[in-house]
Chains A and B, each alone.
Chain A
């Protein structure tokens, strides 16, 4: 019969309508408020309405989520006073080289007295309008010093200068990276051999070796 196909199609539509209201009844009309309802109505088994009521509720981003990069600095309450707020970046320039749209600008740090380069960037700019959030900088940084952020709410009223981030705006504590990406941070720490910066670990290893040697020498003379 003509029109049967349409009716069958409409059945699907009605089913969808029905299911979206069924959800309301099931959650006692508290579908948008009860925290348990959220994972379910957004999961694979969800049947009804799929909307997330942004900004009242937000979807958690997964750990690997990439947005504008940030620079890792040591915690501001690091036990070693000298390391507090110290950049992990050594201004090696690999990230600037690998960045596809070339939006990273680094000024190498120099020691004002000796004029020799120091392993810390003087300035570090990222033009976040140009950054395509590809994550290559974070992937290839040999010191785990640049990481992709999770904070995606960056709108501002000024699009000329507010969107070029300087070192201060980019720097975030190491603790922050541990909190947004616990598993990745742990993997990286395992690869480095500890939770500290690579250079610190190297230094520590060296000192430990020297100490062991001294002890050895001391015990030999005894």
Chain B
């Protein structure tokens, strides 16, 4: 950031981007369609699964133009939503933790958040094979069905084993552990005078500005715009699910924090509806069609968008009928939210820019692609 100051007050502020630029989009044009999937993990490395979910429909939409297209099976959609909502909780947990870190509560709230995240990551690891770089979604479904047990008893290289039934683990996590953790956060932080003094009225982004900067996600919803891609342009099985779009009206740091808390609660609500669906679809196919490594995609263009925890994530894919995309572009929410930083910071104190930045919740892997 380059800031011009008047004493302690910010007069001008410019986020300087590009230090982590690694040619994601150009590499994406060299890669075949399936090869891009693991690269999308590396955009927003906290929520690799929802990045996957954004890319899969973008290509599926194109595939649908051709003959013999099979849409993802119902079970695949259920698993996808399960994964994505867990990702949302995980991301917001960490976002709140880091916000408090920026505020000076050095790592205590963060570690409470990380504990819960750890449990979710354990599940991801068992289901997808990796904790953060999941590479789980495929065009037409998911990589593999949920495993029966969390960890194998027979693993050679390790001595300590936690062997649990996956569904029971999930049930305990969703019904007890996570709601309790969210309530605890609420009790821990929401009323705390340190938090309210530091956050209320700081970094205000008005409704009009938020729209003008095309901000998305919690930043937009905290400014009083109830816009959520899951409702505005429903995808997957979201139309059948029951949830509310969290919205707050002051547009300050405190409201962004509250929106995140509300969203976690809504995610829990979705997950509770997902659990019976998982039981219902048990044993059904999780993949439609046969997996192909050199996929030919009909010519055309498509834009796949999803509500990532950080905002609207879009993939613009143009195909010329070959094996790799002709153009591949990512609309990264962190990047676009970051452009609104100056608006929020002007007139504030230097110390506040840190928490304003924390409240936008950016991930640099996504800001610079």
Contacts and interface: CB of A to CB of B under 8 A. Distances in A.
B34 A50 contact: no
A150 B155 contact: yes
A43 B164 contact: yes
A191 interface: no
B329 to A, nearest CB: 18
B321 interface: no
Contact of B108 (A2, A13, A66, A148): A13
A124 B152 CA distance: 30
Interface string B120-161: 000001111110010100000001100110111011111111
B135 A135 contact: yes
B69 interface: no
B35 A100 contact: yes
A150 B157 contact: yes
Interface string A1-34: 0111110110111001000000000000000000
B291 A139 contact: yes
Contact-size category for A = 35 or more
Given A5-B196, A132-B38, A62 B154 contact: no
Given A42-B162, A63-B151, A100-B31, A9 B129 contact: no
A33 to B, nearest CB: 12
Interface in A128-182: 132-136, 139-140, 148, 150-151, 176, 179-182
Contacts of B195: 5
A38 interface: yes
A174 to B, nearest CB: 14
A45 interface: yes
Contacts of A139: 143, 291
Nearest to A65: B129
A58 interface: yes
A43 B155 CA distance: 18
A208 interface: no
A44 interface: yes
A70 to B, nearest CB: 13
Nearest to B128: A64
A188 B301 CA distance: 37
Given A100-B35, A134-B38, A134-B133, A182 B127 contact: no
Given A39-B161, A39-B162, 4 more contacts: A57-B159, A62-B151, A136-B38, A183-B152
Interface of A: 2-6, 8-9, 11-13, 16, 35, 38-39, 42-45, 50, 52, 57-66, 94, 97-100, 132-136, 139-140, 148, 150-151, 176, 179-183
Interface of B: 31-32, 34-39, 108, 112, 115, 118-119, 125-130, 133, 135, 143-144, 147-148, 150-152, 154-164, 169, 172-173, 176-177, 184, 187-196, 291, 293-294
30 contacts: A4-B191, A5-B196, A6-B192, A6-B193, A8-B188, A13-B188, A16-B112, A39-B162, A44-B172, A52-B160, A58-B159, A59-B162, A60-B159, A61-B155, A61-B157, A62-B150, A62-B151, A64-B129, A65-B130, A97-B293, A98-B35, A98-B294, A100-B35, A134-B37, A134-B38, A135-B130, A135-B135, A181-B152, A182-B152, A183-B148
